[in-house]
Amino acid sequence: MLLLASFQFSFGQTYLDTSASLDHRVKDLISQLSLEEKASQMLMNTPGIPRLNIPPYDYWNEALHGVGRAGKATIFPQAIGLAATFDQDLIYRVSSAISDEARAKYHVAKAAGNYNRYAGLTFWTPNINIFRDPRWGRGQETYGEDPYLTSLLGISFVRGLQGDHPKYLKTAACAKHYAVHSGPEKLRHEFNAVVSDKDLYETYLPAFEALVNTGVESVMCAYNRTNDEPCCGSNYLLSEVLLQKWGFEGHILSDCWALVDFFSENGHGTVSNQAEAAALAVKSGVSLNCGSTYNALLDAVAQGLITESEIDEVLVPLLRTRFKLGMFDPVEDNPYSNISFDVVDGPAHRKLAHESAVKSTVLLKNNGVLPLQNDLNRYYVVGPNAATIDAMLGNYFGVSANIVTFLEGITARVAPGSQVQYSPGTTLDKPNVNPIDWSSGEAADADATFVVMGLTRHIEGEEGESISSPYFGDRLDYNIPQNQIEYLKKIKGSHGKPVIAVITGGTAMNLQEVHEIADAVVFTWYPGAEGGNALADIVFGNSIPSGRLPITFPKSLEQLPDYEDYSMAGRTYRYMSQEPMYPFGFGLSYSTFSYSDLTVSNTKISKKRTVELSCRITNTGLYRADEVVQLYITDQEASIRTPLFSLKGIRRVSLDPGQSETVTFTITPEMLALINEQGNSMPEKGSFTLTVSGSLPSERSLQLGASNWVQTQINLR
């Protein structure tokens, strides 16, 4: 066998030998590439190499909440909506379905000779940045403001995308945007995010480390600078932390055209030209350039800015990814090649999308009008987002032949003898020009009116996509457009009939007036292709709401620090001392729950001892329903600033009326450690409060109707 391997290597066949080691195959292929070919294989849209039978390949692909930008796919709720499920098992099932569809679509595209962008298997998702400020338009792509929840869901999503085969990746996932990246969107090509070591390791980096430890295949470096270093040329973030400290073995890629920011007039001004930018990125460990800067690698070598061997070093992990995806192996060797195209937007995945949309929906207010009967005489569905698919999608989405709007979902669920009427009533963000308004009068004659309002991707999102945003996708005023509020007031009028406000969007927004006016407030995020059916099932009582807020809703922007300030002081539930509009973790149900019998196996914990914490959860209401049980820890005697609360455990339980279940959490010393000013995790002796609840424990949660909570204390010795 050794002789055979040597013979194959000498004639350029070892990279095709599936019995050879992965590293041997990769190095053999690299040895046969010219410098020009090596540079070309480090661009996002790599050309084919006919003499080696290597077809073209474009690395750029998206799967944030379904296979994106590549035609037919199941559209799941936007990432922030998935986060609102607080359900890591569901997230795993969703991402497994996405990767099934990705594999099926890839093999069909390959058979058709389609090597275009968005046809590959390298997906640039999930976005695990911390949603530190609701003004950021891309916060909808994240799993919210909490590092623990983001880590938990990010791990599940990566595992579902990449599969569990010992040799092959199902698809390749990517942790982005590394690191300390959450606005302002308009300034992202020049912005310097200044952050302390404590905030860096306590808030911004934990999810990235968690995904590296899970085996995420790639990491995307961000546009901005962090502490004066451009993220895609940061010796500290890339070399010292990601590669050396965490031992990341996958490939690093740049955000798209981020390397241009190294030398552009309105960028970072780190280097003078394209060749210097390419050399800096390679020396920093960036294997893949989304953009065209690596076209200058030949010039960089000629100028002595970098060596070919340094290029080889970063090419190794990049090609390793393609080998792990099976791109150089016979199709029949890869079990994922057998996934049928029938799964794409098929019945099983539609059912999963429906479950996800139901579990992501958050009931923020209910004065008793919900659930509604579905056989009332007349329902009125109004508002700018009632019949538009844009309210279903968010950004980075696929398409489907059956995207069910809220109007369609409600219409499909009412009884045959009932009527449904519809009017948009007002535009998304501009006052009506025509002063005549028939719809508010018609609402007075309806038995119940749904006002579907809020945001779409036209107002919030990424730079360049949000065509109605004056702030490049950010939202610096925080409010729902005032014309929508005025319209809601007119619809409510004085008729006394139920008015249900249905809010779409991917972020926190000022809902104080909406809360005061409407009889019920339902937050749907961007719920995906089954969003209309999911909403209808919830409002008519076929499904019970159980979503929880993965972000805090401040009462106003006056409660927040400056947008460009990356200090966590005053931000998120962990450091915000002011009373919010809606707390983190909050969400109502049609049922009620009680928490009791909190027990702890030992009141003292040490480095060698864990503690078991148990709590009895009882459904005290009339409906079978899910409760999202949350564990929070508070350090009562910390010598430095620590979070007011830290989420450290989640359990979703489903209970019949009167049924109870005991939920148990294991408390470890690591869960009690604090992050000091140097960014180091360290245990500190003292007292800790453990709280088990269905929402962030606060007076505001109780005012809004959340369940009470139970607490106990333990001591770290």
Beta bridge partners of residue 419, listed in sequence order: 378
Selected catalytic residue, list 255, 276, 355, 390:
255
H/E stretch holding 363 reads: strand 362-366
Q: Are strands 225-226 and 218-221 parallel, antiparallel or unpaired?
A: unpaired
Phi, psi for 95 (deg, rounded to 5): -70, -30
CA atoms within 13 A on the CB side of 689: 15
Exposure of 198 by Cβ count < 10 A (0-12 exposed, 13-18 middle, 19+ buried)? buried
Closest CA to 512 of 535, 560, 480, 546: 480
Question: How far is it, in rounded angstroms, from Cα 392 to Cα 223?
Answer: 28
CB 206 within 8 A of CB 199: no
Rounded Cα–Cα distance for residues 256 and 254 (Å): 6
Q: What angle do the packed helices 147-162 and 88-111 form, to 10 degrees? A: 40
Task: Answer for the pair 527, 357: CB distance below 8 angstroms, yes or no.
Answer: yes
Cα 457 to Cα 467: distance, rounded to the nearest angstrom: 8
User: Nearest CA to 41 among 309, 220, 288?
Assistant: 288
**Residue 646, both tokens:** 């830290």
Inter-CA distances, 638 with 205, 333, 554, 669, 675, Å? 22, 56, 27, 15, 10
Q: Is 17 considered catalytic here?
A: no
Catalytic residue (choose from 199, 460, 462, 530): 460
Q: Strand (E) positions, 14-66?
A: 45-46, 57-58
Residue 460: active-site member: yes
Paired strand residues for 649: 631
Q: Which two tokens stand for residue 362?
A: 């958050």
Inter-residue contact 326 to 334 (CB < 8 Å): yes
Secondary structure of 568-579 in the HEC alphabet? CCCCHHHHCCCC
- Distance CA(203)–CA(183), nearest Å, equals 16
Name every residue whose Cβ is closer than 8 Å to that of residue 236 and which is 6 or more positions away in sequence: 227, 229
User: What is the phi/psi pair of residue 690, to 5°?
Assistant: -110, 125
Count CA within 13 A, CB hemisphere, residue 208: 30
In 3D, which of 662, 517, 540, 521 has the Cα closest to residue 586? Answer: 521
Handedness of CA 444, 446, 448, 454 (dihedral sign): negative
Residues annotated as catalytic (active site), given as ranges: 255, 460
